Amino acid sequence: ALSNRTAYSGHHVEMAKRFGAMVVAAEHRFYGSNINDNGLHLDQLEHLSSQQGLADLTRVHKYITDRFELTSNKWISFGGSYPGALSAWFRLKYPHLVFGAVASSAPVQAQTNFEGYNEVVAQSLTDSTVGGSQQCIKQIVEAFQRIDSMIQANQTVQLEKDFLSCGPLSEKNDQMVFVNNLAGIFAGVVQYNNEVPGLNIQSLCKQMTKSDDSYKNLQMVYKMAMKLLNQSCVDNSYSNFLSQFNNQTVDQAASGVGIRQWTWQTCSQFGYYQTCDEGTSCPFSRLLTLESNLVICRDIYKISPSSVPNFVEFTNEYYGANRPKGTRVLFVNGSIDPWHFLSVLKSDVSLNETAVFINGTAHCADMASDRSTDPQSLKDARLMIQKVVHGWLQES
């Protein structure tokens, strides 16, 4: 959902003030208040795609141009995460409307089996510059290995007790939800490291290395997360998990990502399924498989799991994956952010395509306004972004 903060705060707003620019923010179709009462029905979701979202932006462009009688003004698009990819694609597909684009943490390469996500999580948890360590990742791996062993040995009653599950963990699908909830704590802290006060890799690793008992340490981390969320137990029910995807009631006042809409887009366009396969450096449970993700596409959206890779392949052919060949596009990524794995990390001077890689920062960190606690690498990156955008505006 689009919030007022998008148009009133952030580094892009600070640049707009500096350069005397207007800020226009548009909400993606099917999200937030921009959705009809029947918008979550399956026959309506068929009209939800990145291509349609970009086409909508052309209408916004025309409306603003006519409304404010703009003539020779240059348009620069900005976005972070999926909107970051849209920003790059807007310039790529409609270069006559957008003069340049800044794409922060933009996963422009669609990928069905996104093994790299948890591999970057593992790397980040060992990064000493943000409070990670080899001991931290060792403890995490050991704790999840013990959980997998307990599940295989049918010791699920003990797991229910130790991790305060609201219901039994005897069924395979409930076990998958359980380990996904566990892994989600670590992945969330890494992805948004230091972007939420008190939630960072340093404090997480401090807890995971508090004793030699990795399993006990993991219990404490889990209970701390429950306390933050004001939970007395954790719902690991697969049927309840599916119910949120099945919910077709529109709440136009809802905040955050629309789970039913976004998961439809992963099934029909992008994949992005974060797995923990054998042979990878993923530190979590091996129950986090591609199959456990694809069944949602089948059960909720009637999309065959075998079709998803074809949709992903089409997306990459349509946009160019991580070699989009767009001109005047600035890709910004942080080394801690797992999503940088699917973005553009090297500049292409021939295309005026610039990549900025920020050491020690997480997801979309560059989009926020300056803070006194920001590392120098982030401050330097914002200056580079400003320099590039200023250069675009100076071009005739």
Catalytic residue list? 81, 337, 363
Q: What's the order of all strands across the beta sheet hosting 329-334?
A: 76-80, 100-104, 329-334, 353-358
Q: Are 139 and 125 in contact (CB under 8 A)?
A: no
Cα 213 versus chain centre, distance? 32
Q: How many residues does the chain have?
A: 396
Phi–psi pair at 313, nearest 5 degrees: -60, -40
Q: Are 191 and 363 in contact (CB under 8 A)?
A: yes
SS (H, E, C) 131-149: CCCHHHHHHHHHHHHHHHH
- 223/221 Cα distance (integer angstroms): 6
Residue that the structure tokens 């920003």 belong to: 87
Residues 6+ apart with CB under 8 A from 380: none
- The residue type at 376: Q
- The residue type at 271: G
Cα 356 versus chain centre, distance? 18
Identify each DSSP E strand in 298-368 by its residue range.
329-334, 353-358
DSSP 192-250: TTTTBTTBSHHHHHHHHTSSS-HHHHHHHHHHHHHHHTT-SSB---HHHHHHHHH----
- Hey, how many other C-beta atoms are within 10 angstroms of the C-beta on 209? 16
Phi–psi pair at 132, nearest 5 degrees: -85, 175
Identify each DSSP E strand in 229-349 by its residue range.
271-273, 329-334
Q: Are 362 and 332 in contact (CB under 8 A)?
A: no
- The residue type at 35: I
DSSP state at residue 336: S
